[in-house]
Amino acid sequence: MEPSSARDRKGRSLATQFDKLPSRARNAPQGMRARKAEAAILEKMPPDVWFTCTSVSRLIGASDDRKTRARLDRLARDNKMERKRDQGTHGFVYYYRRLT
């Protein structure tokens, strides 16, 4: 017969075992900077005005457009922003606007 703790460990699902991982990862400095950038985007963008990624990064004072684009894509995936693709002079341009 197995000890009770071994039986308990086998009985737990993977979901309950991995529930503790996101709470540990919340304190990661990269994640904290990302959430801070997302909050700045949502705070400073006026609603119902379309912006390019470059104009959003200038609006929030970010130094890197690529990280801003990643934050905008995440906000669009979470339905906090709307994204549309249009033809620019040098290729496709993505426009973002904050939903009201």
**The CATH number of the domain where 90 resides is what?**
1.10.10.10
Residue 5, pLDDT score: 61
Q: What is the largest CA-CA distance in the chain?
A: 73
Domains in the chain, number: 1
Q: Flag whether 50 is in a domain.
A: yes
Which pLDDT tens digit goes with each residue over 67-95? 899 999 999 999 999 999 999 888 999 99
For the stretch 26-57, what's the b/e string if a residue is b when 16 or more beta carbons lie within 10 angstroms of its beta carbon? eeeeeeeeeeebbebbbeebeeeeebbbeebb
Residue 64: give the domain boundaries. 45-100
Residue 83 burial class via C-beta count within 10 angstroms: exposed 0-12, middle 13-18, buried 19 and up: middle
pTM of model > 0.85: no
